[in-house]
Amino acid sequence: MRTALESWQFWALLSALFAALTAIFGKVGVERIDSNFATLIRCLVIVAFIGIVVAASGAAQPLAAISGKTYLFLTLSGLATGVSWLCYYRALQLGPAAQVAPLDKLHAWSHRLLRRKHKHAYPNGIIALKGGDLRQEIAGLPGNGAAYTEVFPIQSFFKEPYFLEKWVVYVQG
């Protein structure tokens, strides 16, 4: 029997959780700084953190043992990631975080990835951290969102003013 640590679904869920936190922390982080410089700082933090993880786990490999094809595609992936982050942070700086990743587009993208069978109290779906007035975003979901969503205020857990209009949103697949 596989443990959660051996399940791709577990890691995908953690990825989604930390991606949502990236949007929240990123929006606050670019308020008083150039978005490109903010991206540089973020990248330095990532390099230091991943360096610690690789060193602690013993995952380092001899650089000469890595193929040219691997270097090429990791370089292309890194460039694509860098451009994506530059664009993402600029979008966060210029607009509301809720509009940078709207629910209807997130649902349309993730809907095809969800299994129809479920083993939990809630049917399979997505959980997102969102901010602002969600009425328009929820209305853009299939069926006007009524049968597909549940919204939980984060301010129930965190009393700081920043969390006043922040929500955990469940959207059924």
Residues 103 and 146 in one domain: yes
Residues 125 and 169 in one domain: yes
pTM (whole model) above 0.85? no
Secondary structure string (H, E, C) spanning the chain: CCCHHHCHHHHHHHHHHHHHHHHHHHHHHCCCCCHHHHHHHHHHHHHHHHHHHHHHHCCCCCHHHCCHHHHHHHHHHHHHHHHHHHHHHHHHHHCCHHHHCCHHHHHHHHHCCCCCCCCCCCCCEEEEEEECCCHHHHHCCHHHHCCCEEEEEHHHCCCCHHHCCEEEEEEEC
- pLDDT tens digits, the chain, 173 residues: what are they? 678 777 777 777 777 777 777 877 888 888 889 999 999 999 999 999 999 999 999 999 999 999 999 999 999 999 988 888 888 888 878 877 666 666 666 666 666 666 667 676 667 777 877 877 888 778 877 776 655 788 888 888 878 787 788 888 888 76
Residues 131 and 83 in one domain: no
Total number of domains in the chain: 2
Residues 107 and 22 in one domain: yes
Tell me the residue range of the domain where 123 lies: 1-30+97-173
Residues 91 and 101 in one domain: no
Residues 22 and 42 in one domain: no
